[in-house]
Structure formats: structure tokens, C-alpha cells
Homo-oligomer: A and B are copies of this chain.
Amino acid sequence: MVNQFDFRLLATDGLARRGQMTTPHGIVQTPAFMPVGTQGAVKGMSVRDLRENGAEIILANTYHLYLRPGDRLIARRGGLHRFIGWNGPILTDSGGYQAFSLGPRRRITEDGVCFRSHLDGSEHLLTPELAVDIQARLGSDVAMVLDECLGYPAAEDEARRSMARTLRWAARSHDRLLSLRSRTADHETDVDPTPVVINPGQAQFGIVQGSVYPNLRRESADATRAMDFDAYAIGGLSVGEPTDVMYEAVAATAALLPVDRPRYLMGTGTPLDLVECVARGIDLFDCVLPTRNARNGQLFTRRGPLNIKNARYAEDDRPIDEECGCYTCRRHSRAYLRHLFLAKEINASTLNTLHNLHFYLDTLVRIRDAIVFGSFESLKKTLHQSYSLRLLAHDADD
């Protein structure tokens, strides 16, 4: 029984949207945050932890899984859901962002991205078609098209050329998916019996590029919409630009996207970024911040971030966040968590990650409730009081 991909708008408060995204593996309440499971695992979190924290969808990285253990191996295991033991919705990125991040180890041509593996130096050409095929074999619920992700700043002519290429790649990606969908089982030959399409209900999202140039963003949005993707993402942000520039680009681009499809802001952000971008009409987020920072000892609380390494917590018997209901806060003190962190115990990573993800997912719960009850502006103000732009320098007890 395959659910068709679908999105319903349930309520709005200003530009903020409360919705429901249906995927072949279940429903996602939006706005939603997707924990990042790069290699098919959210670092430090079991599937049960994710469920108990309220995660409804996770993200996995095509680049990493393609190189190891390989998309064909995963397809032979029945697809990514079965392989990793998570039967809820999964979104996979296209692999483009990681490939671009390789710097001198990659070269971009009209064909695709030529790169050397970070694992063994082997050469690979990731084309838009291959990115579609890999994700078809992974069987994620949402596949992203291959796009070119520019850094910041980028000159306008460079941004235009890159945006135009992303559009041509989007068309190729769309064509490839249609061709895969029409394939029959006889394409799975004895020579390579790897299944081609694991998840027939897989959706495909287009990605709007154009750096920080409103005219390019408009051109990209119009042309991408014309291809009629299941939904649209905003790419090329959170790449080093000032926050106000990002917020402006998000607002301008979100306004160009159809109201009846989810809008996904890729790779963002701080708790403040989430609420500010929901305020500009974004429905989906992913970011390594809560998980990575947890491993580095930065913990998010309702009063702002705190760094558990800090000597002031050595004899602090309070939980990380007195209002938090997560397992870590119900069970352990700051003093103990500081000890685990300084002692380099694995448990520091797992307990901190559990808390930070709970904070993020709970923030989204509060955002969704606020939209329904018309109190979104007031929630936004509350979050502003705790989370300034000085995120990394600030401490909850300062």
C-alpha cells in the first residue's frame, strides 16, 4: 500500500504555515526539522531515541551512501529504510553539496560533477541522471535533484551561469525520474539484478538557486516551477552570507513558490533561523547544528545555548534545561554531563545529542502549535530573547 506524496496546508499565521506532508512511509507535520543521518545513522541516536524525541522524518546523504556501503548493496537489502531499520519518511539529498564541498578534489562540467572519493581517492562522475538513479535505488521518500551550490560571495555572472546549469540539470533529473517510473522489471537483468526503483511513490524536489540576486532567484523559481516538481527547495543559502541577507533571500524566494507544495530550506540553521524562516513561509529544515554541537558540548536550552565544558557547571545539579522533558534532562545533571564530556565518554555524545535534538524537535512542536493558535509572533519574540546572533559566544547563564 503506497501513499502518494501529498501536502495539505492546515493553518497559517502571517506567512507562517502549518501543514501536513504525506509520504510513502508516513505523514510529516510541518514545519518540520529533519535530523541528519549522513551515513544512514543519526550520530549517537538509536531509531527508538529518534521516535521518542518525536522525529518524523530524517535526512540521509546520497554522496556518503553511494560511496559506502553503495546504493546497489542497499537496494539489494530492500532499500534504505530496511537497511537502517527506520520505517518512517526519509529525504535524501542529491550528493551535489558534498561533492561541491570537496574543493580541489572536484571539477564541474556540463555533464555533472567529477570528484575523487574522500575514502579511497577513486574517481566518480556524478551526473543528474546518476543522482536520480542512486536515490531510486536507496528508495527514499523524497529525492533531491542534483544542483550546483555556489559559495558566498559569488559574482552575478557566475551565479547566473551556475543557476542556468542547475536548471538544465533539473530538467535532466526530471526526465530521468519519469523514465525510471515507466521502466518495467525486465530492465533488471540477470547481469545486474539490482532493483532499479525501490520506492515507486518517491517524490522529487526541485531546487531554486541564484545566490543572493533577487532577479536570478525569480528566474530560477519560475523555470523550476515550470517543470512541476512535487515540491521546491531553496538551495545556496547558509553558505557564509550574513544572516539578514539569508533571511531576505529566503523571504524573496519563498514568495515565488506555490502555496500548495512544501518549501524546504536546505542546511539551516540555528533555533532563531528556524523561527525566522518559518515566519517567511518555510516548511522543512535540516541541519547538523544540534547533533554536531552536542558532540562539541554546546547544548540548547530555552534560555539560550550553554557550553557544558564551562567550569561553572562542575557542581551544577540542575538538568541542562529545567523545562525540558527529554531523557537526558529527566535523568542527569549538568555536573555529570560536564564530567562525561571532559572524560571523553561516548555517553557525553549520546546524551547531549538526545537533548539537543529534543530541543530542536520540541521547538518545531511549539512553532506548529503557535501557528494554529495564532501566537506565532509571540513565540518568535520569546526565541529572540534567548537566541541572539552571538550564538556560539553566548551562554545561557550569562
Contacts and interface: CB of A to CB of B under 8 A. Distances in A.
B332 A69 contact: no
A44 B346 CA distance: 6
Interface in A306-346: 314-315, 317, 327, 331-333, 335-336, 338-340, 342-343, 345-346
Contact of A43 (B41, B315, B327, B346): B346
Contact of A68 (B73, B77, B317, B342): B342
Contact of A39 (B84, B338, B343, B351): B343
A347 interface: yes
A350 B346 contact: yes
A339 B85 contact: no
Contact of A336 (B85, B315, B333, B335): B85
Contacts of A333: 77, 83, 85
Residue picked from A39, A43, A76, most chain B C-beta under 10 Å: A39
A76 B339 CA distance: 14
A315 B73 contact: yes
Contacts of A390: none
A350 B76 CA distance: 26
Given A349-B346, A350-B44, A332 B77 contact: no
A210 interface: no
Nearest to A328: B46
A48 B332 CA distance: 12
A36 to B, nearest CB: 13
A40 interface: yes
A73 B331 contact: no
A335 B83 contact: yes
B339 A39 contact: yes
A152 to B, nearest CB: 30
Contacts of A48: 327, 331
Interface in A329-374: 331-333, 335-336, 338-340, 342-343, 345-347, 349-351
A85 B332 contact: yes
Contact of A85 (B73, B76, B331): B331
A339 B68 contact: yes
A333 to B, nearest CB: 7
A45 interface: yes
Interface string A42-59: 011111100000000000
Nearest to A42: B347
B68 A343 contact: yes
Interface string A274-317: 00000000000000000000000000000000000000001101
18 contacts: A39-B343, A39-B345, A40-B343, A41-B343, A41-B345, A44-B350, A45-B347, A46-B331, A46-B351, A69-B314, A69-B339, A73-B335, A77-B335, A77-B336, A83-B335, A84-B336, A85-B336, A346-B350
The 7 lowest CB-CB distance pairs between A and B, nearest first, are A41-B347, A39-B343, A69-B339, A85-B331, A44-B346, A41-B345, A85-B332
Given A39-B345, A69-B335, A83-B339, 18 more contacts: A41-B340, A41-B345, A44-B347, A46-B347, A46-B351, A47-B331, A64-B343, A68-B342, A69-B339, A73-B314, A73-B335, A76-B315, A77-B315, A77-B317, A77-B333, A83-B336, A85-B331, A85-B332
Interface of A: 39-41, 43-48, 64, 68-69, 73, 76-77, 83-85, 314-315, 317, 327, 331-333, 335-336, 338-340, 342-343, 345-347, 349-351
